[in-house]
Amino acid sequence: MIRLNGLNSFDMNDEGFDSLSIKVDDLIDLCTQMKLENQALKASASTWENERQQLLEKNEQAKSKLESILDRLKALDPT
């Protein structure tokens, strides 16, 4: 017999302990799996963020070049 908080009691046989042990092991496995998945997602997010930053920089360079070309074209047109 196991007492909880000194108030309630119930019988826990070997089968109950085994069942509880299996559930705890399953939860531990799930937690480990979720930690690994979380690490993979964080790594992926970091990769995407780096790629995004590179694309933003390339976009800014292209914009600057285009503005320069437009300025030169405007300088050629006397109207």
Residue-level pLDDT at 1? 45
Distances (CA, A) of 11 to 2, 3, 8: 6, 9, 11
Residue-level pLDDT at 7? 54
- Listed by start position, the domains of the chain span 49-79
pLDDT tens-digit series, residues 41-59: 999 999 999 999 999 999 9
Q: Has this prediction a pTM greater than 0.85?
A: no
Taking a C-beta distance cutoff of 8 angstroms, is the pair 11, 4 a contact? no
Residue-level pLDDT at 24? 97
Residues of the chain short of pLDDT 50, as ranges, are 1
